[in-house]
Amino acid sequence: MPDLSRVDVTDAAAALLRDLTAKHGPLMFHQSGGCCDGSSPMCYPVGMFLTGPSDVLLGTVDIGVDDPIEVYMSESQFEYWKFTHLTIDVVPGRGAGFSVEGPTGMRFLIRSRMLTEEEAVAFGVRAAAE
């Protein structure tokens, strides 16, 4: 079975993340629920946002630097998104207030698709067909 992941990153987002890593050091994402900036993927230097027991590690994205970037989501939000695969992308615009891309003129966003049957079974959100 191929390596399956709940989260991925576009080439454009990976390029920006490499630049931000060079400036800020290792990074992490947290995708929380809610409105406004809370519905955007927020990117922080590792240690600047503390995750807790109500956060789910969705996976990591490899952008070609030493440390893969961990991607978290609040457990309550994960209940709504557990059937989806998320891709972190970047588009022109003003980033979220506390997210490190804010001053760059770009902002991160999430693109999603439904999990394939193989992914859903692998992640335990759907039983294999009998």
Contact 7, 85 (CB under 8 A): yes
pLDDT at 40: 83
Rounded distance, CA 9 to CA 87, Å? 5
The band of 94, judged by pLDDT with boundaries at 50, 70 and 90, is: confident
pLDDT at 19: 97
Contact 38, 49 (CB under 8 A): no
DSSP state for residue 33 in the 8-state scheme: -
- Residues 1-22 have pLDDT tens digits of 457 899 999 999 999 999 999 9
Contact 68, 55 (CB under 8 A): no
The reported pTM is: 0.90
Number of other residues whose CB lies within 10 A of the CB of residue 100: 21
